[in-house]
Amino acid sequence: MCGIVGIVSKTPYPSRVLLDRLKRLEYRGYDSYGLYDGRTLLRRIGGIRVEGGGRTTAGIAHTRWATHGGVSERNAHPHLSCDGRVAVVHNGIIENYEELRRGLLRKGHRFTSETDSEVIAHHLEDGLRRRPVEAALPRLFRELKGTFAVLAMVRGRDEIFALKRDSPLVLGAAEGRTILASDIYAFSDWTDRAVFFENDEMAAVGPSGARFFDATGRPIRKPARTFRWEQDRGPRRTAGHYMLKEILEEPAAVGRLLFSLGGDQKPAFDRLVRLIRRTRKVIFASCGTSYHATLLGAYYLHRTGREVQTLIASEFRHFAKVDAETLVVAVSQSGETMDVIDALKYARANGGRIAAIVNVPHSTIQRMSELSLNILAGPEVCVASTKAFVNQAVLLLALARAFGFPVRLETIPDRLRALFRQRARLRAMAVRIARSRDVYIIGRGLTYPVARETALKIKETSYIHAEGMMGGELKHGTIALIEKGTPVLSLINAGDPDIISNTKEVEARGAEIFVLTNHPTLGGDRNAVHLKTANDGKFGILAAAAGQLIAYYAAAALGRPIDKPRNLAKSVTVK
> CATH number, domain at 198?
3.60.20.10
**pLDDT value of residue 434:** 97
Among 51-55, 267-271, 325-329, 488-492, the least confident range: 51-55
Check whether residue 380 and residue 465 sit in a common domain: no
Distance CA 357, CA 374 (A): 6
In a domain, 28, yes or no: yes
In a domain, 231, yes or no: no
CATH code, domain carrying 424:
3.40.50.10490
Give the length of the chain.
575
Q: Is 287 assigned a catalytic role? A: no
Distance CA 390, CA 563 (A): 18
Highest mean pLDDT among 122-136, 286-300, 466-480: 286-300
In a domain, 539, yes or no: yes
Burial class of residue 273 in the structure, from the number of CB atoms within 10 Å of its CB (0-12 exposed, 13-18 middle, 19+ buried): middle
Report strand pairing: 281-286 vs 487-492.
unpaired
| Secondary structure letter of residue 334 according to DSSP | S
In a domain, 234, yes or no: no
Burial class of residue 132 in the structure, from the number of CB atoms within 10 Å of its CB (0-12 exposed, 13-18 middle, 19+ buried): exposed
Cis bond before residue 78 (omega within 30° of 0): yes
In angstroms, what CA-CA distances link 548 with 204, 463, 540? 44, 14, 12
Check whether residue 324 and residue 208 sit in a common domain: no
> Where a domain ends, among 339, 373, 406?
406
CB of 140 closer than 8 Å to CB of 159: no
**pLDDT value of residue 361:** 82
CB of 355 closer than 8 Å to CB of 272: yes
Phi, psi for residue 377 in degrees, rounded to 5: -75, -20
Distance CA 32, CA 569 (A): 12
Check whether residue 399 and residue 459 sit in a common domain: no
Averaged pLDDT score across all residues of the chain = 92
CB neighbours (10 Å) of residue 280? 10
Check whether residue 208 and residue 251 sit in a common domain: no
Check whether residue 337 and residue 248 sit in a common domain: yes
| Secondary structure letter of residue 166 according to DSSP | B
Give one DSSP letter per residue of 369-393, joined into a string: -SEEEE-------SSS--HHHHHHH
CB of 442 closer than 8 Å to CB of 489: yes
In a domain, 54, yes or no: yes
pLDDT in tens, 506-556: 999 999 999 999 987 665 577 899 998 987 799 999 999 999 999 999 999
Distance CA 82, CA 12 (A): 27
Contacts of 526 (CB under 8 A, 6+ apart): 425, 428
In a domain, 233, yes or no: no
**pLDDT value of residue 235:** 45
Cα-Cα end-to-end distance for the chain: 10
Check whether residue 211 and residue 91 sit in a common domain: yes
CB of 89 closer than 8 Å to CB of 118: no
Identity of the amino acid at 520: P
Helix %, strand %, coil % of the chain (to 5): 35, 25, 40
Check whether residue 175 and residue 33 sit in a common domain: yes
Check whether residue 465 and residue 388 sit in a common domain: no
> Where a domain ends, among 391, 406, 421?
406
**pLDDT value of residue 233:** 47
The alpha-helical segments, DSSP class H, found in 37-132 are: 97-106, 118-128
pLDDT in tens, 11-70: 999 999 999 999 988 878 778 999 999 999 999 998 888 987 789 999 999 998 777 788
pLDDT in tens, 404-455: 999 999 999 999 999 999 999 999 999 999 999 999 999 999 999 999 999 9
Distance CA 378, CA 264 (A): 16
In a domain, 156, yes or no: yes
**pLDDT value of residue 560:** 96
pLDDT in tens, 251-294: 999 999 999 999 999 999 999 999 999 999 999 999 999 999 99
pLDDT in tens, 233-256: 444 444 589 999 999 999 999 999
Check whether residue 401 and residue 426 sit in a common domain: no
Distance CA 413, CA 249 (A): 10
Check whether residue 547 and residue 560 sit in a common domain: yes
Q: How many domains does the chain have?
A: 3
CB of 528 closer than 8 Å to CB of 492: no
In angstroms, what CA-CA distances link 488 with 429, 431, 473, 557? 11, 14, 14, 18
CA 134 to chain CA centroid, nearest Å: 34
Note if the pTM is more than 0.95: no
List the one residue out of 67, 98, 74, 99 whose CA is nearest residue 167: 67
**Could you tell me the residue range of the domain that residue 14 belongs to?**
3-226
* Angle value at C-alpha 450, between 430 and 2, nearest 5 degrees: 85
Of 2, 281, 287, 382, which one is the catalytic site residue?
Answer: 2
Report strand pairing: 512-517 vs 465-470.
unpaired
Of 23, 281, 570, 575, which one is the catalytic site residue?
Answer: 570
H or E, element range at 271:
helix 266-278
Check whether residue 16 and residue 66 sit in a common domain: yes
Report strand pairing: 201-206 vs 209-214.
antiparallel
pLDDT in tens, 357-394: 999 888 899 999 999 999 999 888 899 999 999 999 99
In a domain, 232, yes or no: no
Check whether residue 319 and residue 282 sit in a common domain: yes
Distance CA 575, CA 572 (A): 8
Identity of the amino acid at 84: G
Q: Is 570 assigned a catalytic role? A: yes
User: Residue 147: beta bridge partners?
Assistant: 93
Distance CA 474, CA 506 (A): 9
> Where a domain ends, among 406, 425, 443?
406
List the one residue out of 473, 418, 427, 422 whose CA is nearest residue 451: 473
Distance CA 243, CA 518 (A): 25
Distance CA 265, CA 372 (A): 9
**pLDDT value of residue 69:** 80
List the one residue out of 255, 236, 256 whose CA is nearest residue 246: 236
